[in-house]
Structure 1
């Protein structure tokens, strides 16, 4: 069928809206009419060639839409179901078998290689191969193919166009707090980077009952927003000595810190801010080969820990519905981060996100 999609054709260049051909779903695939999709920083990183995803490619990995057709081996959803599309996994490796699919042994090829598992692509243009299946979906398009492992049915009475970001950015930040770090009530927590992932972590820390929640960012507007959704304190590294300020605030360091920036110097600050036996989570995307240095005496003598976190260590089939329930209860107001754009404005949405004008862009399809 003919679809409209945003194609990356040159490293760092604008996405071009083009008419492409999409194959019919195979026996294990699901065709979704995309209603809206979030714009994530990972899309920008791949656009800019910082990860080895081949071009030309259709990106997008926070899609929400309506199931239109399913392959004969699919039983999880039926045509007409409202769904969000999340990250893909194999379902058979040791990690997937242990319900830790965010650490699937095939995570990178299934999400970043932008091909089916057999190396094919379902997207083309006049015989030209266009890479698809990015994160098992390529949802910067009016229709997308996904799989049972990465589709989640959602309630019909919640605005579908709002829910796409739950599939990656929002679940990553919230899941880091609730699933990976497991921040307990009464703990102190500091988030380095108050974008959509970091602010989702702030909201989740409030849900968890953390009593000291510190947001750290260079944008004062985002710090103001962080206070409105749960942060008890804010710091701006342009003015504040972050490590000293966090130590003074807590008296001994922070129980849990989380870096969303992927910047090695910032990660060092997050680790240096830890209290004895504290834990620093890292989820920001760094270029391959990035190295992190730590003060060995500080790290070892206090029993401090540093851990990598992927997709919030979430099981999407259960965690995304949990976030929706928290949203309905007024405890997780992620909708306040969102600004909607038309599909034709996708490059504007990306630019506004990079410039800090918009926390979480969502593009609506026609």
Structure 2
């Protein structure tokens, strides 16, 4: 390819910003990030926005490289054959390469009444509405949080630690499914200390949400003046609407280099990517790593090199349990939780460090593109892919 290369990045979250900044490694590449908001949203902190302890936004001037152009707007469609992105405003952006980094949000709830009566927290506007609704509650009005993944756990703990009690956390199954049982017991003790009622087990699946209660599969009704829905996840349907191949959840299907299975000029990163139909666990850390790898794939093609397969190790998951306590769950490289975790105030310090680094890594890449690095997984993903394909593990004779 001769002349200037135009790259459009759809999505200005952790993955999109990292990819955009890294692409400025080449002077002959112009990068445009399309994002519906004029500020970067630190999604790791949205529960803090609800509780009033952090604004959860950062100016794009702080995280985007100077050479990256920001176009505020939403994408309506990708015309892959024509290599054009059309915005909802009607404006069009031609591209030579496209980075699909649309992110994720809470799934549209199918439970009767949930859409009408429950608040969400996974996007900035939803978190702002929830914060206003919480502030308008009279003292002592009960709050119910549905979902015991990271968002539900952190939101319930933040509200209770900030004085908004009583709070009930409806798990719909296990409290903190990712956590090692030792860390899960620690989380349960912390919730007890905060006065949060944890309802877990198979009977706690929500069957209906009304204006003043949440009904469970075992017949119980949890009374509350306000319900927060954090269960499940969803991704924008942009890829499907644009005629691109997706997995069952709507994530863009790619190969192991993060290249779309339909079009070599489209790469994906973050929560909206499904490499080999085996997506990574959603997290800001992984989103940043995938964003950097997506940029590396584009840069390799521009240099007429073969892109490398994605290789990311998991190190930990951190969960806030209020404003001065957290769990920092150490993980094996294949994302299995270890028995080891750091809790209490030391855990909270590690959690805050992780939140700060998630933004610092972006600013570092903006100033020195190409410098962000991450730990490799030691071949665990490659083995999972071989096992799924029915390829037997190598014997010593085969390995030689």
Q: TM-score range by the shorter chain?
A: 0.3 to 0.5
TM-score, with length taken from structure 1: 0.33
Rg comparison, structure with higher value? 2
